[in-house]
Amino acid sequence: MGIFKPITNESHRNRDDGERARLGLGLAETLLGVGLAALAATALIAALTGVASLAATAHAQETAQPGGASAEGLAADGGAPSAQASETQAAAKRLVLRRAGVKPRIVRYAGTKPAIFRFEFKGKRKRDVQVQVVHRAEDGKKTVTKRWNRDDLAPNTVHQVKWRPRKANGKPVPNGRYFFRVREQGGKFADADKAKGNHRLKSYSHIFPVRGPHSYGDGIGAGRGHRGQDVFAKCGTKLVAARAGVVKYRAFQGSGAGHYVVIRGRKSGMDYAYMHLRKRAKVKPGQKVRTGQMIGRVGATGNATGCHLHFELWSKPGWYSGGSHMRAVTKKLRLWDRWG
């Protein structure tokens, strides 16, 4: 305490309630500094007479978005003289987070790992807290995807929620950017400006199956009735399931596919075929597989020139059972590739 920097809007946002209330004069100077002279005069009077309500009001009008989640020091906590009890009471209304971080930062539908969001708030009393995960669309539109209500949570303790990115009907949530935020139930969103960790993440319906350096070879057709897309990579490169599902076939075809495996996609209506694996696939027929789960390694078994994955997508009802191979396979692979 005691350090007062000229305040920009940004650092003003970062200042915690209690500190700002105690620095009533500082607030007045700030407001003068940014040219809000009329307001400042009132603030000055308020500050001089020890009334903190204006500071609290000014704060209340700010947006409650969790901010940049920088890990720079922690805001001063408590320690206000008893004469300023009303100020601390006002400040205590809004949750202040010490920690707000999610891991991993990319999750997949029915993936191997759920997102774990950990948070901790300051203060002296228990609170009824709501955690939300919010989708941020390309156009900036925010939609709450899921809420968790947790009653009587202790301050200064790490709490966590686990999120598997799916809708109530079991399908994947929209692809793209998400973030977690916290508030007191029925109250304002917590101040996360100084919280440790990063509360943002991305969720995707698929993962690119070749987990290493790669290049694209022949696509659909390719002058020889090619039914998929070739992806070249070093033999031994890890192969994972692009989408969760159930293993439908695992076999060896010496004259063509070599070691191959076909997985019926969960809630996607498609079959996913992986060919020329180095060895027999690690997953067996009937087995449930998660998005991103290892199924084998890139090889050159069967009729293959060079180490590569031959990948096919088949529409409902599936691979050589009434469906047809999808021309969109290359486009899809390239999209999943961009998702990382």
Judge whether 325 and 314 are in contact, CB under 8 Å: yes
CB of 218 to Zn ion, least distance (A): 6
Q: Give dist(CA 32, CA 34) in Å, integer.
A: 5
Closest CB to Zn ion among 191 and 230? 230
CB of 176 to Zn ion, least distance (A): 31
Judge whether 286 and 246 are in contact, CB under 8 Å: yes
Closest CB to Zn ion among 231 and 283? 231
Mapping DSSP to helix (H, G, I), strand (E, B) and coil, where does residue 199 land?
coil
Binding segment for Zn ion (CB under 5 A), chosen from 61-69, 164-172, 284-292, 306-314, is: 306-314
CB of 220 to Zn ion, least distance (A): 10
Element (H, E) at 54: helix 53-60
Judge whether 25 and 47 are in contact, CB under 8 Å: yes
Q: Give dist(CA 273, CA 225) in Å, integer.
A: 16
CB of 98 to Zn ion, least distance (A): 53
Binding segment for Zn ion (CB under 5 A), chosen from 19-27, 92-100, 173-181, 308-316, is: 308-316
CB of 222 to Zn ion, least distance (A): 8
Residues touching Zn ion: how many (CB under 5 A)?
2
Q: Give dist(CA 180, CA 199) in Å, integer.
A: 5
Closest CB to Zn ion among 184 and 218? 218
CB of 184 to Zn ion, least distance (A): 56
Q: Which of 15, 146, 310, 325 binds Zn ion (CB under 5 A)?
A: 310
Phi, psi of 168 (to 5 degrees): -60, -30
Closest CB to Zn ion among 107 and 263? 263
Judge whether 315 and 326 are in contact, CB under 8 Å: yes
For position 230 contacting Zn ion by CB under 5 A, the verdict is yes
Binding segment for Zn ion (CB under 5 A), chosen from 70-78, 100-108, 170-178, 222-230, is: 222-230
Q: Give dist(CA 271, CA 67) in Å, integer.
A: 42
DSSP string, 296-333: EEB---SS-SSSEEEEEEE-TT-TTTT--B-TTHHHHH
For position 108 contacting Zn ion by CB under 5 A, the verdict is no
Nearest residue to Zn ion on Cβ basis: 310
Closest CB to Zn ion among 30 and 301? 301
List of residues contacting Zn ion (CB under 5 A) = 230, 310
